[in-house]
Amino acid sequence: MKPKTFTIHHLVKGEDLNHHGTLFAGRGAEWVVEAGFIAAAGLLPPKNVVCVKVHGMHFKRPVRPGSIIRFSSKVVLTGHTSLVSYVVAVVDEVPVVDSFLTFVYVDDTGRPQVHGLTFEAETEEDLALQEQAKNLM
């Protein structure tokens, strides 16, 4: 499988802000998980994909109200039943947060099942992301 990038956007509104008037980390985390899920569910039936771990999020700078955040996500590593997505969010082409997330492919009873996907890194960037993801496992 070749890596496929998925993109979503969110407008930062008043209800998304913390007490400092910038993007609340909890809302940012929600959007990061959503973007990572979309990458995994773009390869497998969404009803059978569950998030099992957020490997941390690195917020690089505050995000102001009125900003439009672009989240780009892609699967960078596959196991037998798992997928690791990498998400990076940018505002005006400047990275503001990134994260790795692990998802598991499950059957209708919620048990992990083999998905049969394999990831083939093709670029130096994808190879580096794959190595980072392996080190998280």
Per-residue pLDDT reduced to its tens digit, 20-35: 999 999 999 999 999 9
Q: Where are the domains of the chain?
A: 6-136
Nearest to 57 by CA among 16, 93, 27: 27
pTM, to two decimals: 0.94
| Region 6-136: CATH code | 3.10.129.10
Cα–Cα distances (Å) from 115 to 1, 48, 53, 89, 109, in that order, read 12, 10, 18, 28, 15
For the stretch 53-64, pLDDT in tens is: 999 899 999 999
User: Residue 92: its pLDDT value, please?
Assistant: 96
- Per-10-residue mean pLDDT of the chain, 137 residues long, equals 89 98 96 98 96 94 97 96 97 97 97 94 92 92
Q: Where are the alpha helices (DSSP H) in 1-137?
A: 25-41, 124-136
Residue 101 φ/ψ, nearest 5 degrees: -135, 140
Instruction: Read off φ and ψ for residue 127, nearest 5 degrees.
Output: -65, -45
Q: How far apart are CA 81 and CA 109, in angstroms?
A: 15
Per-residue confidence (pLDDT) for residue 98, from 0 to 100: 96
